[in-house]
Each structure stands twice: as structure tokens, then as C-alpha cells.
Amino acid sequence: MKRIRRSGLTALAVAGVLSLALTACSESGGKEAEKTPGVGGAGPRLKVAMVTHSGPGDTFWDIVQKGAKAAAAKDNVEFLYSADPDGGKQAQLVQAAIDKKVDGIIVTFAKPDALKDVVARATAAKIPVVSINSGADVSAQYGAVAHFGQDETVAGEAAGRELAKSNAKKALCVIHEQGNVGLEDRCAGAKKTFGGSMQNLFVQGTNMPQVKSSITAKLQADKSIDGILTLNAAIAATAVDSAKEAGSQAKIATFDMNKELVASLKSGTIQFAVDQQPYLQGYEAVDGIWLLKNNGNILGGGRPVLTGPAIVTKDTAASIEQFANQGTR
């Protein structure tokens, strides 16, 4: 009979101890972890609803949702998403979330008057509300505990200054959703700092052929337009097509990012983009509700938590290309 070496017995003994330790962890460690405050995912499972004003197929809101889902996975949160560009219908979706007795609601105040009453009902039901993206100026007033986004007027002013560097003198600011106060603030800010002439052009953002037709017609009617500022990356790509069709040399810039836009920035087709980091807005909103419910934390001290603006140009586009390609910038 072959004798077992002492080292072999030692290894077997260590393996046995590790096995017992792992068994003990699996039987009691998880339950103990649930009782530990301040640890991501600890505590009871929460249900958080996000209700936005986005239209279908908007890549910007895909990035917001990626951030929100990442935080939800970390924090053991059930994440519910719904959206409607109509303010009244958005309010109905918020009411549906209240009726589900969710633990927190994330909203956008693109059309703040439509949401004022329903947000008040949420806060009366002791459901914390966090706002993102739009409505920083009314967020606290309407009862939201925090806001994550950029100051749209400040972002517009930054865009106006940057567009002026291209030597454009007469520009369009293309608003793709009428009644959206955030978009209107962007254009107002840009007009303030641009230095030349800038006029608003309203288009129907959910109908891209109509958007292209409207921009093309404007460029054909006024050959002196040498600058276009769009407020959405998809609209920017359409504006590029419009300029080609109209034979215009107008310099095109935009708000917001997606992976397709990086190539246009690197080639110089798009002059710059104003990035408000939508991934961060979604992530911090969900995580902020988790922190509030589990540890009583509130970010911002009653003031908006700014996620932008950051100006991305031809010179800096490559530095975020990796993140844009993975859908997080």
C-alpha cells in the first residue's frame, strides 16, 4: 500500500478547512451582507421607475438607460423605463409608477408644467423624485430631491462661443421638439455669445425626412447661412446631408454624442459636440435613490449636480472614441 506524504495530508487538511469556510459563507455571509449599510446591493430590493420625454429610437436615451441599468445591477434595483414626448402622457406614466408603489421615480422636466401636479402626488405618497437632463431650474421647486444634468443656458453659451471660432456669421439653431424648455434655453444661450446672427428653426425630430427637407429648404433659400447648431446628434447627421444637397458650406456643430458622431468629429465634418454625459445622468439618478433609501444621502445640497457641458472637438474626439463605441459616451 502506497504511503501518503505529509505534504499531501497538509494539502488535504487545508482544502477541508477552505471547504468548511466557503460553506459557512454561502449559508450565512449573504444574509449578513444584506444587513450591512453602505454596501452596493445591500438592503431590500428596490423598484425605481424612470419616465422621460424621449421619442422612439433616440441613441441619447439609450446611453442614459445604460448608465441607469449599470447602477441598478450594482445596487440590486429593479429598473423600469417608459417615455413619451407628449407632456400629458408623460405625466400619466409617472402616475402609473406611483400606482405601482415604486421606491423612487426619475423624471425629466422638458415640459415642466405638465408634470408639476403628478410629481407633487409622488412626493405626497412619500416616493422620492429625482430629475435628470431637463428642468434644473424647477427641479427643487417641484419637489425633486436632486437633479443630474447640465445647465442648458450655460451649455448654450459655451456652444455659441465655440461656433464663433469657426468664423460663422449667420447661423441656424435647429430645435427638434417644440415646447422643450431645455432646447429653447440652449438656443437662447448660444445666441447670447455667438456674436453674429442666429435664428431658431423648428423641425419635427421624429420625422427625419421632414427634418432634412426643412433644413435643406432653409439653406437653399438663404445662401448666407454659414453655421448650423443642432441639439441632437442624429439631427446633426441629417444637417450634414442637407448641407450637401443644398450645396452649402455651412459649419455644423451639435449637442450630444454617439459613436457615429465621433467619426464626423475626427474628419471635421462636424465642428464640435457639447457632451452632457448621459450615462452619468442615468447612473447617478438610480444610485442617488439607492443612497437616499439606504443611507439617507442626498447629492447636490439642493442644487443641480452638473454632468456637463464638455466640448468635444476634432482634437479630443479620439480620447473618448473607445467609450463612444461601447455606448457609454
pLDDT digits (tens, 9 = 90+) for 117-162: 999 999 999 999 999 999 999 999 999 999 999 999 999 999 999 9
Computed over every residue of the chain, the mean pLDDT equals 89
C-alpha cell at 313: 472637438
**Could you tell me the pTM of the whole model?**
0.83
What are the residues facing 255 on neighbouring strands? Answer: 274
Mapped onto helix, strand or coil, the DSSP state of residue 5 is coil
User: Mean pLDDT, to the nearest integer, of 251-271?
Assistant: 95
Question: Domain spans of the chain?
Answer: 46-150+278-298, 152-275
Distance (Å, whole) CA 194 – CA 186: 12
Q: Which of 3-12, 102-111, 177-186 has the lowest mean pLDDT?
A: 3-12
Per residue in 203-223, pLDDT tens? 998 899 999 999 999 999 999
Task: Give pLDDT, residue 32.
Answer: 39
Q: Which residues contact 168 (CB under 8 A, 6 or more apart)?
A: 194, 196, 226, 227, 250, 251
Q: Is the peptide bond before 309 cis (omega within 30 degrees of 0)?
A: yes
Q: What is the C-alpha separation between 129 and 131, in angstroms, rounded?
A: 7
- Same CATH fold assignment for domains 46-150+278-298 and 152-275: yes
Q: What is the DSSP letter of 208?
A: H
pLDDT at 40: 56
> Is beta strand 251-255 parallel, antiparallel or unpaired with respect to 272-275?
parallel
Write down the CATH number for the domain with range 152-275.
3.40.50.2300
Beta carbons of 232 and 254 less than 8 angstroms apart: yes
For the 46-150+278-298 domain, the top CATH level (class) is alpha beta
- Categorize the per-residue pLDDT at 39 as very low, low, confident or very high, splitting at 50, 70 and 90: low
Taking a C-beta distance cutoff of 8 angstroms, is the pair 226, 198 a contact? no
What residue spans of the chain are helical by DSSP H?
A: 6-24, 30-34, 59-75, 87-99, 112-124, 152-164, 181-194, 208-221, 233-246, 259-267, 278-295, 317-325
pLDDT in tens, 266-310: 999 999 999 999 999 999 999 999 999 999 999 999 899 999 999
Who's near 279: CB < 8 A, 6+ residues apart?
Answer: 63, 64, 66, 67, 70, 328, 329
Average pLDDT over residues 161-184: 95
Determine phi and psi for 128, rounding to 5 degrees: -65, 140
